[in-house]
Amino acid sequence: MIKNCRICGVKLGRRNHTARKNTTTNLCFSCIRHPPIEEQCMGITYKGEKCKIIKYRDSNYCKIHKYMERSENA
């Protein structure tokens, strides 16, 4: 079964970011490192810049900024 990156469609190789611990991202190395804006976290870094890490599963935030989602819903 040939898998492709879910963002750019590039064929995924053996060693890529498809399986990381308990999640399956189905993303190529390039998309993990430089995700499109709609796939980026909505958090703000301590320097006041927009976070550029990819979102975590079905959240709007990455693992680091996950706490912001809880405060947003409260």
Instruction: List, for residues 46-64, the tens digit of each pLDDT value.
Output: 999 999 988 887 888 988 8
How much is the pTM? 0.65
In the chain, count H helices and then E strands.
Answer: 2, 2
Q: What is the pLDDT of residues 11-41, one digit of tens each?
A: 877 655 555 555 567 778 888 888 889 889 9
Q: What angle do CA 36, 38, 56 make, to 5 degrees?
A: 95
